[in-house]
Amino acid sequence: MAQEDVTRFVDRDLRGARFDRSTLAGAVMRGVDVRGLDIDAPWLADGALLVNGVDVVPFVEAELDRRFPGRELKRAGDPAGLRTAWAALEQAWAAVVDRIPALPEGATDVSVDGEWSFAQTLRHLAFATDAWLGKAVLRLPRPFHPLGQPHAEYETDGFDMSIFATEKPTLAAVLQVRAERQAMVRDFLATVTADVLAEPRPSAWSPEHTVSVLHCLHVILDEEWEHLRFALRDLDAQPALDDPGDVEDNS
């Protein structure tokens, strides 16, 4: 972006402003009041975030690794390490799913602050597995399960939405698909070799670009840990469900 095209905010009050699916890459803030600033950046580790001249990314990553044991394994680069990383993920998710019976009725369909519900999150993880393992790595002709939840830009990017269910599925159906996709990853990792990890594949969403099988698996691991964080955040933020209108209606 040319310098003359840079948007400048001088003496502006942006309290309460919200930026969703927006890029602030390279933004410069000087003399700003950031009390209570809430940043959720799934790709934070891909670059630096300077606060008063200090790159805070390593501190954030270290704290997230402390809060989510096993997350530090997501960059594993060999078959044994990937198997260990996936086992840690499955254990972490199992602990969250075990909370479901104690939740208020309908809690798994609640959208907190406009985010996906817990059930939708599980559906999206099934979709992510289908995209990066079923489509990119295994090159299945019809990789997507109808109960998958595509990312927000899927339709606007020109992909076919007709393959996905339009009615809200039962939680039991969602959990079954989720378990099947977890097993799909587990079974693949059980026999994968270092040579296979190095093999090239067309990227799931940019087939003109080639990535390694290992890269595809790293995307799945990233998706899993980030959405685990989202799911726990939103489950913990839910109030008691006294109003049936709080429950998302996808019908």
Residue ending a domain, among 15, 46, 68, is: 68
If one compares 198 and 20, the residue with the highest pLDDT of the two is 198
243 has a pLDDT exceeding 80: no
Phi, psi for 201 (deg, rounded to 5): -145, 150
Q: Is residue 113 part of a domain?
A: yes
Q: What is the tally of structural domains in the chain?
A: 2
Q: What is the pLDDT of residues 93-133, one digit of tens each?
A: 999 999 999 988 889 999 998 899 999 999 999 999 999 99
Strand-pairing partners, residue 136, are none
Contact 96/228 with Cβ under 8 angstroms?
yes
How far apart, in whole angstroms, are the C-alpha atoms of residue 221 and residue 226?
9
Please tell me whether residues 41 and 116 are part of one structural domain: no
What's the rounded Cα separation, in Å, for the pair 65 and 79? 21
Predicted local confidence at residue 13, as pLDDT: 85
Residues 114, 144 within the same domain: yes
Q: Same structural domain for residues 55 and 91?
A: no
How many CB atoms lie under 10 A from the CB of residue 120? 19
Residue range of the domain that includes 39: 1-68
In this predicted model, what pLDDT tens digit does every residue of 135-164 receive, in sequence order? Answer: 999 999 999 999 999 988 888 888 889 999
**Residue 50, in any domain of the structure:** yes
pLDDT band at 65 (very low <50, low <70, confident <90, very high): very high
How far is 225 from 223, CA to CA, in rounded Å?
A: 6
Q: In whole numbers, what is the pLDDT of the chain averaged over residues?
A: 89
Specify whether 103 is located in the same domain as 210: yes
Q: What percent of the chain has pLDDT over 90?
A: 65
Is residue 146 assigned to a domain? yes
Please indicate whether residue 43 or residue 176 has the higher confidence score (pLDDT).
176
The verdict on residue 29 lying in a domain is yes
Classify residue 230: in a domain, yes or no: yes
Q: Which amino acid is at 125?
A: L
For 212, the enclosing helix (H) or strand (E) is: strand 210-212
Is residue 248 in some structural domain? Answer: no
Band the pLDDT of 4: cuts 50, 70, 90: low
Q: Residue holding tokens 């799913």? A: 97
Rg, C-alpha atoms of the chain? 20
For residue 200, the domain's CATH number is 1.20.120.450
In the numeric block, the tokens 């406009």 are attached to 114
Residues 92 and 47 both lie in one domain: no
Task: Based on the fold, state whether residues 16 and 79 are members of the same structural domain.
Answer: no
Three-state DSSP class for residue 192 = coil
Position 194 pLDDT exceeds 90: yes
Which of 22, 41, 68 represents a domain boundary (last residue)? 68
Task: Tell me whether residue 55 is in a domain.
Answer: yes
Q: Is the pLDDT of residue 9 over 90?
A: no
- 89 and 54 housed in the same domain: no
Q: Give the end of a domain, one of 68, 88, 112.
A: 68
Q: Does pLDDT of 244 surpass 50?
A: no
Q: Do 64 and 86 belong together in one domain?
A: no
**Does the residue 247 lie in any domain?**
no
**Claim to verify: residue 158 and residue 63 sit in the same structural domain:** no
